[in-house]
Amino acid sequence: MSINKSYAVFGLGRYGRAVAEELVNNGAEVLAVDMDMDTVNSAVETLPVCKCADITEPEVIKRLGISNVDVVIIAMASNLEASVMAVALCKEVGVETVIVKCGNELHQKILNRVGADKVIFPEKESGIRLARNLLTAGFSEMIELDSEISMVELDVKSEWVGKNLIDLSLRKKYSINVVAIRKDDEITTTVDPAMPLEKNMQLIVIAKTAKLQKLK
């Protein structure tokens, strides 16, 4: 998932709004939806495309054009019935990825059963972290070391195959430091900069979070 995909966020409480705003701030196309007009009115300044609608209604899902959205984040953990309906309707119209905020493990099982692709417990993953992970296409995981620096696992790009780290000058071009290389589930921390990169390798790098978009 990346900035090139389109997103919809259902539910604009603290978590949903954090996800939506982080996506928007990074240039992603986001449709934000909530069933409460006051909530929508308070969010329009930071979320350009913000709608008041009942996303448990099939006609509303069609009218909003959700079938054209790549990723839907459903952030209504306090309303299991609405979350279940939203998941089912999104999958019915062909949404590729549906991510749902969940309250407990029982709800997780129910949401997985109706088609959710990923269920998130809010106490385990912040809305901002989810948004940043969605935006880091090609990254297996992103770990924030502090407010500005992150460690990510990056797939070797096709155009990098056969070249080495000296040829690529990743530090100079992207301000990233390669700290390890993973190959076939084995991690090497003593990195030889003259070693040609292979397609099945992943680079474990440390970089400024703001610079990560350059790697796309």
Query: CA 163 to CA 93: how far, in whole Å?
Result: 43
Q: Could you report the per-residue pLDDT of 1-40, keeping only the tens digit for each?
A: 456 789 999 999 988 998 999 899 888 999 999 999 999 9
- Tokens representing residue 149 in the block: 């620096």
Query: CA 53 to CA 40: how far, in whole Å?
Result: 10
What are the start-end ranges of the H helices in 102-204?
A: 105-113, 127-135, 165-168, 170-174
What structural domains and CATH numbers belong to the chain?
A: 6-134 (3.40.50.720), 138-215 (3.30.70.1450)
Which residues, 6+ apart, have CB-to-CB distance to 159 below 8 Å?
none
pTM of the entire predicted model: 0.62
Which residues, 6+ apart, have CB-to-CB distance to 111 below 8 Å?
83, 84, 87, 100, 102, 119
Q: Could you report the per-residue pLDDT of 96-129, keeping only the tens digit for each?
A: 999 999 888 888 889 988 899 989 876 545 566 6
Residue 180 has pLDDT above 90, yes or no: no
Q: Could you report the per-residue pLDDT of 58-106, keeping only the tens digit for each?
A: 999 999 999 999 999 999 988 889 999 999 999 999 999 999 998 888 8
The rounded percent of the chain whose pLDDT value lies above 90 is 47
What is the CB-side half-sphere exposure of residue 5 using CA atoms within 13 A? 21
